[in-house]
Amino acid sequence: DAKTTQPPSMDCAEGRAANLPCNHSTISGNEYVYWYRQIHSQGPQYIIHGLKNNETNEMASLIITEDRKSSTLILPHATLRDTAVYYCIVRAPSGGSNYKLTFGKGTLLTVNP
Amino acid sequence: NAGVTQTPKFRILKIGQSMTLQCTQDMNHNYMYWYRQDPGMGLKLIYYSVGAGITDKGEVPNGYNVSRSTTEDFPLRLELAAPSQTSVYFCASSQRQGSDTEAFFGQGTRLTVV
């Protein structure tokens, strides 16, 4: 699986959009980008994933660049409860080592009042 | 729907003791995983299972054993506890092997070995 690079920490004002970047310059054409978050040492929680197209769900939006070497997770209206460590993960499709999610250190997002 | 349930939530062990961390899921998922997370670090895969009766090693399997006799349960066994095994342990499950599936995590077991 390709490695990812994320900033160690970011701040965001409550009510504003939080944009979390992720670099995955060695991503392969069939690898997906996943985002999870972990709130205060709880179990990680799935947020969103995508391959090539931008994706949106009730939690967030995922913007993937055309060359797929980077992506941005967008929380449109951050709340204090969004304070968490956010993990960007690149995952291979079926077969091979797809059984696992490889977690880096992630980005600690702090939403300030 | 309980999802993934881990017990106990907290445990203190003495060096050399043994214990089993329990993990149960009620989503009929085939895939189950055990991760450990040391302070300030990401999660590291210990063992995983692709179905009942099938288990395999992850990145950091030494000092641990697992079994998968049923689809629902995936216990993690520590035979001779060591201080290096002080960590938070997370169990997870997913429906199938594939690029479009999400993993569900339990709330963790915080283990301290003294």
Size of interface A-B (CB pairs under 8 A): 65
The one-character DSSP state at B85 is G
Q: Closest-CA residue in chain A for B31?
A: A99
Percentage with pLDDT > 70 across chain A: 91
Cα–Cα distance for residue pair B83/A60, rounded to 1 Å: 39
pLDDT band at B90 (very low <50, low <70, confident <90, very high): very high
Tell me which DSSP letter residue B84 carries.
G
Per-residue pLDDT of chain A (113 residues), as tens digits, is: 568 999 999 999 999 999 999 999 999 888 889 999 999 879 999 999 999 989 999 999 999 999 999 999 999 999 999 999 999 998 876 554 455 677 888 999 999 99
pLDDT of A6 reads: 96
Q: Is the Cβ pair B100, A49 closer than 8 Å?
A: yes
What's the confidence (pLDDT) of residue A1? 55
Suggest the residue from B105, B107, B110, B111 to mutate for an interface test with chain A (most A CBs closer than 10 A).
B105
Pinpoint the alpha helices (H) of chain B.
none
> Å from A44 to nearest chain B CA?
6
The 8-class DSSP code of residue A111 comes to E
Closest Cα to residue A44, out of A1, A101, A4? A101
* Mean pLDDT (whole number) for B74-81: 96
Task: Give the one of A30, A41, A101 whose C-beta lies nearest to B103's C-beta.
Answer: A101
The whole-angstrom separation of Cα B24 and Cα B73 is 5
CB contact under 8 A, A43 and B33: no
Amino acid (1-letter code) at residue B21: L
- Residue type present at position A103: F
User: What does the mean pLDDT of chain A come to?
Assistant: 90
d(CA B28, CA B15): 36
pLDDT in tens, B37-56: 998 888 999 999 988 999 99
Nearest CA in chain A to B46: A100
* CA angle, residues B45, A52, A98, in degrees to nearest 5: 25
The dihedrals phi and psi of B85, each to the nearest 5 degrees, come to: -95, 5
Confidence band of B11 (pLDDT split at 50, 70, 90): very high
Q: How many angstroms separate the CA of residue B3 from the nearest CA in chain A?
A: 12
If one compares B5 and B95, the residue with the highest pLDDT of the two is B5
Q: Is B39 part of the contact surface with chain A (CB cutoff 8 Å)?
A: no
Task: Tell me: pLDDT of B78 over 90.
Answer: yes
Residue A92: its pLDDT value, please?
Answer: 73
Q: Round the average pLDDT of chain B to a whole number and report it.
A: 92
Does the distance separating the beta carbons of B92 and A46 come in below 8 Å?
Answer: no
Nearest residue of B to residue A35 by CA position?
B102
Using a 10 angstrom Cβ sphere, with 0-12 exposed, 13-18 middle and 19 or more buried, the burial of residue A30 is: exposed
How confident is the model over A39-58, as pLDDT tens digits? 987 999 999 999 998 999 99
> Which residues make beta-bridge pairs with B92?
B33, B105
Q: B89 and chain A: CB distance < 8 Å anywhere?
A: no
Share of chain B above pLDDT 70, in %: 95
More confident residue, A32 or B95: A32
